[in-house]
Chains A and B, each alone.
Chain A
Amino acid sequence: MTLEMFATVALNGLTVAALYFIVAIGFSLIFGLMRTVNMAHGTLFLVGAYAGVAVFYPLYDQGFSYAWIVALAAGIAGAAVFGVLLQVTLLGWMQGQELRQTLVTIGISIIAADQLLAIFGGNSQQFFPPDALFGSVSVPLVQTGHYSTFRLFQIAVAAAVGVGLWLILHKTKLGIIVRAGVDDRAMLSACGVNVALVSVLVFAIGAALAGLAGVVGGTAQPFGQEKDVQFLLTSLVVVIVGGMGSLPGTALGALLVGMAEQFGQSLFPTYSVMFTLLLMVIVLAIRPQGLLGKRLT
């Protein structure tokens, strides 16, 4: 493998990892606080993407250059609203019953996928970024000397999400409550905190991040049927590798999965899927709680 090829593939891995991080961090956050294995997380990704599409094309067709920004906002809002509804109407009152929540969220994801198919059809769709992010910029070392601007922008978004979440978790009162909830829910409730309300808020943030990923991801690569399952699986692998409920763990997990996928695709295209799962198997064998995860009690 030449240096040029190595640099290109590494950058591909990094940009894909950035997307995986944005999707998986919401999943990890929801699990961290509520121990809810939200099997509808991929659905939140799709809901965000389709909510974005619903406003994007009418604006884009009229030539509005800010269509993408509006789509981004709609995607985040759409997924957040869907997430809140899910938590308030269904998951909230079955708190602590993991198996029940898992089955309910699987059911929701199947129903939602069919509804999205009925409303938006089965054709793949994609967003077009604003002119400033379209095209490519000059990057040394990589093949052809140019690299897609939008994929680099993905890294910036992921970094912003990571730093923002870290600040919220470590520098705000909400963050203190969330972290306390991760360690001991019952004690937090006994201290007078309305845990149910915090749960809804965290679910909204987690879902909003999935919606953000829906629009950003839907700009980098087309989306449609089955992407919900694909991104759910990726989220699961990322948080299993990195450690459930851990912010740095999710970042590390996303990086490893992205690199494994891209280098796998480049070196052994046929077996690239196996690399990602192999990574998970190895981590589960030697460190079942994930690389940076805490042992669950």
Chain B
Amino acid sequence: MTLLASPWRKLTGQQREQHRILIPALALTLIFFAIISIATGAVNIDVASLPGILFRSDHASARDTVIVWSVRLPRTLLAILVGAALAASGAILQGLFRNPLADPGLVGVSSGSVLAAVCTIVLGQNLFGANATQFLPLAAFIGGLLSTILLYTIATRNGRTYTATMLLAGIAISAIAMAVTGVLIFMSTEQQLREFTFWSLGSLAGATWAKTASVALFILIALGLWPILARGLDRLALGEAEAGHMGVNVQVLKRVAIVATALLTGAAVAVSGAIGFIGLVVPHLLRLVMSPRHRFLVPAAALLGAILLLVADMIARTIVAPAELPIGIVTACIGGPIFLWMLLTNIRKLES
């Protein structure tokens, strides 16, 4: 619990005002990296010819137009959306559970999505015919939502949701989902197994405009819920009873927070597979330098998450070009050491 700085702790003046500089700076950095992302890749496209391609001038080569418009643009936007969704849901969940270890994996969304994905890969051909993998994103999204609803039902008694029960039941549900996933993996053919392995390592390689547009809808709606949640989450840090006394309808707050994170994570996992570490690391990084008040923390987390995933994807698609690395490997390679470094340099602050 001590890891999670209270929004009510004494802040230095610097930290209190940090967000005024930090949020615009993050937004500018994101725009900067988005431009770099569109300009770089396995194919060398002259930066000078980019405006021509973007505005579809007649001089642009057909190949470069396809690469920029059908590969790099949807992929850049998808990386921004998924990164923002993962980091924002991490920030909301850590606030809701008042637990520094809470990340999207804990509320059962990820394990439900993974189970639904492996079902589609292994059993899909019998249910939907040869094109079963087209249903994979939708199945993963529905699987994530269903497991969250199940977990919420388990942890709710007489109209009150017990967050500790929810965390523990989340671990149990993940274990059950993993077991069923294991059975399906056992039944799978060699190709299905390969397909699942690559899906579970995460990748944005399958980005298309249709995919980007459909997740944008869910992610933007869910991100739009943060102003409603922010004040309640701040007060919740003092304890449930205290938050109640301060006029927060704790049950409504929990419900909205769970719906928002299920939508964010479900949509992200559906289009990009299981990408770890962004949801866990980003909120912690930000709390070290800025006010932990959720009004500023959630949007800052969304921006930093988007930047990190965008950079990770640029590494994934260029470092072994013309081949490509699964992005989950890159985020874990970056996220793990950053997290450790953060813990080691702030050990005194965190334990006090």
Q: Do A and B come from one complex?
A: no
